[in-house]
Chain A
Amino acid sequence: MRFFKSLLAAALSGAVAIAALTLPTQAHHSFAMFDGSQIKVFTGVVVRINPDANHLQIFFAPLDEERKAVLRNEAGEPVIWAVEMGGSAAVARDGISVNGFPPGTIFSTGLHPLRNGQPAGDRGSSGLFKCPEKTPPAAGMHCDSVEGSTAHGEGVMPQEGALAEEYNPDAQ
């Protein structure tokens, strides 16, 4: 019985320690894989969410400049990008979840692209805005300009291109 108590105590203290370590919801790995000096801005349509405990990822089909159809590659296939952010529990507090962003949801955000050329990036400190259902923004605009859109988390829609200062999440 004493053994059971010791086992339980060890298990509980382990659980509490890990929970405490995970409380700061910052990125758990280096940011070096992302190009913090660049930012790409998208308005796109959610195709899937990977609700990973460490980093939630939204896979999306970017809309064209007219905001009337999805971007396609030279072969005519839709282009798919992915944006990574905080852990699923952390961003759920901002309303970003599997249920809150079902396939077909139109949203806008910015991302620091991967350095390896994959079509994906980290949201960094960009704002994230959701358009009302089936209501894309006007040509060249983003969801933050659409009446009835919702902001999810902090930040504003950034400007596309090179940043004056490299993004460093540790300096936040």
Chain B
Amino acid sequence: MDLMAIAQGIEASGIATAIRDSIYAGPIINVFHVIGVVLVFGTISIVDLRLLGFPGNGRSLSLVTHDLLKWTWIGFAVAAVTGVLMFTANATTFYINTEFRLKLVALALAGINMFIYELITARHADLWDKDVPTPTAAKLAGALSLIFWVAVIFLGRWIGYTKGFNFDIPVELDLENLF
């Protein structure tokens, strides 16, 4: 499967052209991407800190997650949709960008960490819901989540500074028989 050809196809699509050619679409999509990311990190980091025992264990973990995680998912949905739109407009450049690839890896790691916590670690979470220190596995999940999400934000912002003049994309035009 030629991923570069797929990226080229996405970039040539009507929606990609519409985003590129509009003065307003790019910045507005970008703003909502940032709002989505802020919502994800702002809420997930409070849950992560609670898992780590900050500021304490006095507030019920189930209440904290119940109140916050729905906002995490709303933020994630906003960030995902806007992220896909931004990728669409310039797919080939993102595809070859190392920081973009690393960001996807960090996102995947954050997801795997979440699934391990939800499916295994949190099975007996009712035993350490309130006024009891969280087990080491839960603390580890919280710490890893913070690290992975900071990495996602760091790499995401770094993309903007690294997709400059990139001569790595192979030339597909037949330069021998031009005319």
Contact = CB atoms under 8 A, between A and B. Distances in A.
Do A and B assemble together?
yes
Contact of A45 (B90, B92, B173): B173
A56 B27 CA distance: 15
Contacts of A53: 20, 26-27, 30, 89-90
Contacts of B31: 11, 14-15, 18-19
B11 interface: yes
Given A15-B31, A15-B32, A103-B172, A51 B165 contact: no
Contacts of B92: 48, 50
Main SS class of interface, A: mixed
Interface residues of B, number: 32
A136 B165 contact: no
B20 A114 contact: no
Interface string B144-179: 000000000000000000010111010111010011
Given A47-B173, A88-B21, A98-B12, A57 B165 contact: yes
B161 to A, nearest CB: 10
A51 B166 CA distance: 12
A18 B175 CA distance: 42
B24 A19 contact: yes
Contacts, number: 107
B125 interface: no
Contact of B28 (A15, A97, A114, A136): A15
A78 B172 CA distance: 12
B5 interface: no
Contacts of B167: 59, 80, 82, 118-119
Interface residues of A, number: 43
Nearest to B34: A14
Given A22-B27, A50-B92, A88-B26, 4 more contacts: A11-B35, A19-B28, A50-B163, A99-B12
Interface of A: 11, 14-15, 18-19, 21-23, 25, 45-48, 50-53, 57, 59, 61, 68-70, 78, 80, 82, 84, 87-90, 92, 97-99, 103-104, 114, 118-120, 134, 136
Interface of B: 11-12, 17, 20-28, 30-32, 34-35, 89-90, 92-93, 163, 165-167, 169, 171-173, 175, 178-179
